[in-house]
Amino acid sequence: MQTLTRITWNPEVMGGKPCIRGMRVAVGTILGLMAAGRSESEILTAYPYLEADDIKESLAYAAWRVDEIEVPLQSV
């Protein structure tokens, strides 16, 4: 897994949701726009303070999260 330098978590920003570089733009917002068919250029026009690498890292974060496996702990 690559190091994510643009995705931040802060309980005081957006309720602790993963955000882009500490801004109030949740990774989920970017992913939702992509899933809805918005292009990278449309997203960057709507959010001019974002950079193309923010979108790429949002996608990398989503891929990493999907690949995680939760293993239930057994009580002893």
Encoded tokens for 29: 């917002």
The model's pLDDT over 28-43, given as tens digits with 9 standing for 90+, comes to 999 999 999 999 999 9
Residue 54 has pLDDT above 60, yes or no: yes
pTM over 0.85: no
Structural domain contains residue 58:
yes
Structural domain contains residue 24:
yes
CATH of the domain at 54: 1.10.10.10
- Residue 13, classed as helix, strand or coil, is coil
Domain count, the chain: 1
Structural domain contains residue 34:
yes
The residue type at 48: P
Q: Which domain holds residue 42?
A: 7-65
Structural domain contains residue 51:
yes
